[in-house]
Structure 1
Amino acid sequence: MNWIEFSSSVIGHLISWPVVVFFIAMIFRKPIANLIANVKFIKSPIGDAEFGRDVKELEEQQRELSSVSQEKHESDDSFSSAGLYEEVAPIAEHSPSAAVVESWRRIEQALVDLCKAQGIEVENPQRTYDVLRQLGENNIFTYELSRHLDSLRKTRNSVAHSKEKPTAGEAMAYVDIASSAYAEIKNLSRT
């Protein structure tokens, strides 16, 4: 074997498909990471995994809000989120989209009730955006709660208009987050 054959053999082994795939993955790691973040469901022989970017963002916002609301509502007469969750969560097993829409419908009604309880006139109470704006202008909501509710609204809209099809797990997570927001709105109605 001369040096040309040896060099050709070494180069042939170095440029094998695993090495090429590794270098391509390293070059395109950020775009690949963004694609993986948008994957909703992966099924493999070793197990299944669910992902949902919108739901994860809502969960992060909910954690921020829960720390603030726990300080505000430490009394025993605060409204619990368990009622809404127990009523709507079973829907998610059969129709995840319906569970998301129903959770948001309950929040919308709670927002209208809050406006009435606070004596706030809203020109068009059917437009949730107007209701949220009025509550914000009257300093009923914190910026964080308003932003969180707007994120819940946008997620509901993408589901209601068939832009996204949530899985049962994502719908259950949405219902859980929505029920906490619902309880926060109901607690504001009591003050």
Structure 2
Amino acid sequence: MDAGQVLSLIEILAWPFTVLVIASALRPAVLKVIARVNAVEAGGVRAEFGAILLETRQTTEENGFLSQSRAYDSKGGQLQRLAELSPNGAVVDAWREVELAAISAALHAGLSVRGGKGRVSGNASVKEMQTKGLLSQSTYELYVRLKELRNKAAHSSEVIAAADAKEYALAALDLASKFREHPGGKD
């Protein structure tokens, strides 16, 4: 190989080599970004759990919902530990706390808690409280968003990050607490 061929080879390999050097330097940051992405689908049809959770966090912070102290109570601690082992399971378990609190609040207000098939239902309880004007719009919207996220955790193949499950659990416990603090009354 003569000097001209070596020079041509260097010119050809310079750009890919530069990209590899930059990529290896940015590897930790890229891995963090990749870890936060929970699902990707062509056409943007499916929203990611983490993206919806981010929107929910912003809404709840604007309305003064979230209280980080929940992480340290008994149920909060259990959910935080469960999120490490089974993030999807922690989301479903946290949602159950919301349902139970909603049913309790509706019963306390003397409202129906039975859904269309005659079964006791958290959804029916919340709809009844909403219809009677016993829930603020922000509480109702938080309930709907958390329900959507729970459905993603329970009914899709999407794997939820432990950090997202922990955050979801805190938001769910705060909403359940809100139902318990104002049973049957406007919040």
Match of 1:135 in 2: 129
String of CA shifts for 1:80-125, please: whole Å, max 9, x gaps. 7444312311100000000000000111011100111111123325
Residue type of the alignment partner of 1:92: A
Rounded to whole Å, the distance in 2 between the matches of 1:108 and 1:152 is 11
Aligned pairs for 1:163-174 (under 5 A) are 163-174=157-168
Which of 80, 96, 105 matches 1:105? 96
TM-score (norm. length: structure 1): 0.65
Percent identity over paired residues: 22
* Amino acid aligned to 1:96: P
* Residue-by-residue CA offset, 1:6-62 (whole Å, 9 max, x unaligned): xxxxxxxxxxx79xxxxxxxxxxxxxxxxxxxxxxxx93456244320110111121
* Structure-1 separation of matches of 2:98 and 2:27: 37
The residue type paired with residue 102 of structure 1 is D
Q: Whole-Å Cα distance in 1 between the matches of residues 184 and 142 of structure 2?
A: 20
**Equivalence for 2:6:** none
Q: What is the match of residue 27 of structure 2?
A: 44
Q: Which runs of 5+ in 1 are unaligned?
A: 1-16, 19-42, 71-79
For residue 27 of structure 2, what is the amino acid of its counterpart? S
The equivalences for 1:57-76 within 5 A come to 57-66=55-64
TM-score (normalised: structure 2): 0.66
Aligned residues of 2:99 and 2:123 also touching (Cα < 8 A): no
Q: Do residues 153 (structure 1) and 136 (structure 2) align?
A: no
**2: distance between equivalents of 1:139 and 1:84?**
29
Q: How far apart, CA to CA, are the structure 2 residues paired with 1:167 and 1:137?
A: 35
Amino acid corresponding to residue 113 of structure 1 in structure 2: S
Which deviates more, 144-153 or 121-130?
121-130
What pairs with 1:84-95 in structure 2 (closer than 5 Å)?
A: 84-95=75-86
Q: Distance in 1 between matches of 2:76 and 2:173?
A: 6
CA separation in 1, counterparts of 2:169 and 2:32? 22
How many residues matched?
144
Q: CA RMSD in A?
A: 3.0
1:119 and 2:103 aligned: no
Q: Given residue 110 of structure 1, which amino acid in structure 2 is its aligned partner?
A: A
Deviations 1:119-150 (A, max 9, x none): 11233254433222101111111011001101
Amino acid at match of 1:181: L
* Whole-angstrom CA distance in 2 between matches of 1:61 and 1:164: 23
Gaps of 5+ in 2: 1-14, 17-25, 37-49
